[in-house]
């Protein structure tokens, strides 16, 4: 099954890097959509059929933690697979990410790590 992905990051360079790594991870990819902040991300989420979200933490307009909270509050996306991507492993934040049933990926990452994270995020949903 090809998965449709949304990459939310305020850095265009980082979005390209994430997309490239996803393609190199061996996961069968359908469409990859992009957004530059949480607000844009929510708009894409409203109009596209997506299987998993990659969300950066530090972004202008709406940061990744607020986007995560909003996505979880909507009944249609309450169980959607989400990976939070960050350069910082802030312990408190990771705790919140766990509570919101999302995964965490430390930047930078290898295609192998990414593949594992994607499959585990998709598997969490299947296990419900």
- Asked whether position 40 contacts Mg ion by CB under 5 A, the answer is no
Question: Per the omega criterion (within 30 degrees of 0), is the bond before 70 cis?
Answer: no
Let me know: does 93 contact 4? Beta carbons within 8 Å: no
Nearer to Mg ion, 27 or 84 (CB): 84
> Binder to Mg ion among 7, 10, 67, 121 (CB under 5 A)?
10
From the CB of 12, what's the least distance to Mg ion, in Å? 11
Nearer to Mg ion, 27 or 34 (CB): 34
Cα–Cα distance for residue pair 119/124, rounded to 1 Å = 9
- Asked whether position 51 contacts Mg ion by CB under 5 A, the answer is no
> Binder to Mg ion among 58, 87, 90, 120 (CB under 5 A)?
58
* Number of residues lying near Mg ion (CB under 5 A): 4
Q: Which residue is nearest to Mg ion (CB)?
A: 58
CA atoms in the 13 A half-sphere facing the CB of 116: 8
- Asked whether position 98 contacts Mg ion by CB under 5 A, the answer is no
Of 5, 15, 68, the closest CA to residue 42 belongs to 68
Let me know: does 8 contact 31? Beta carbons within 8 Å: no
From the CB of 36, what's the least distance to Mg ion, in Å? 9
- Asked whether position 90 contacts Mg ion by CB under 5 A, the answer is no
* Residues of this chain that bind Mg ion (CB under 5 A): 10, 56, 58-59
């Amino acid at each position: 099954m090809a998965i449709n992905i949304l990459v939310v990051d305020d850095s265009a360079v980082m979005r390209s890097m994430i997309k490239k790594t996803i393609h190199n991870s061996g996961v069968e990819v359908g469409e990859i959509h992009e957004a530059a902040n949480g607000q844009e991300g929510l708009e894409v989420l409203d109009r596209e059929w997506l299987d998993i979200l990659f969300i950066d933490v530090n972004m202008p307009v709406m940061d990744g933690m607020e986007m995560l909270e909003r996505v979880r509050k909507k009944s249609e996306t309450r169980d959607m697979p989400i990976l939070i991507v960050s350069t910082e492993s802030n312990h408190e934040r990771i705790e919140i990410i766990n509570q919101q049933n999302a995964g965490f990926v430390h930047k930078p990452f290898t295609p192998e790590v990414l593949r594992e994270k994607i499959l585990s995020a998709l598997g969490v949903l299947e296990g419900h």
